[in-house]
């Protein structure tokens, strides 16, 4: 089960010295939107993901994928390939913000996700001052929607 909230981030509000945080380089593409079937390259790791319906809470299953399998499936993907740099930023609340800096079609978009163990935790989360608008329930900010090239 995945339970997460998403927030827009403005460039002016980015944490200072952002490059000091660990990060992953991510490339992902979508094979199906309903249910969501995604393939991802995260650094040199390859992942096949199934996501059920939902906005803040939904089923999610991740399976390992070979590089060869990823390359093969990438040719069958619909829409655009999403590319981003994901910074892992510890928050004072004990959670980790996964700050995505998008490239390509979405160059300049900054979005942070925070994952939770329960819906209660998600619903009572107090965002840090540097977080912007909560877009958890706005489908336009789901990467699967974005991969269709819709803005």
Number of helical (H) and strand (E) elements in the chain, helices listed first = 3, 9
24 with 43: CB under 8 angstroms?
Answer: yes
Q: State the catalytic residue, choosing from 30, 46, 70, 87.
A: 30
27 with 70: CB under 8 angstroms?
Answer: no
- Phi and psi of 104, rounded to 5°? 65, -130
Q: Give the strand order in the sheet containing 96-102.
A: 57-58, 2-8, 110-115, 96-102, 78-90, 23-33, 36-42, 45-51, 60-64
Q: 70 catalytic, yes or no?
A: no
- State the catalytic residues: 30
């Amino acid at each position: 089960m995945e339970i997460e909230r998403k927030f827009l981030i403005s460039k002016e509000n980015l944490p200072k010295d952002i490059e000091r945080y660990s990060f992953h380089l991510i490339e992902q593409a979508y094979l199906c939107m309903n249910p969501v079937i995604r393939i991802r390259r995260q650094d040199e790791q390859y992942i096949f993901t199934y996501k059920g319906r939902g906005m803040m809470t939904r089923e999610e299953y991740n399976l390992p994928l070979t590089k060869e399998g990823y390359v093969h499936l990438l040719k069958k993907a619909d829409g655009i390939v999403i590319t981003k740099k994901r910074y892992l930023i510890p928050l004072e609340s004990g959670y980790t913000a996964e700050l995505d800096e998008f490239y390509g079609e979405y160059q300049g978009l900054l979005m942070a996700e925070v994952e939770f163990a329960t819906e209660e935790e998600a619903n009572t989360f107090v965002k840090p001052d540097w977080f912007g608008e909560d877009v958890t329930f706005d489908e336009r900010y789901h990467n699967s929607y974005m991969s269709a090239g819709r803005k």
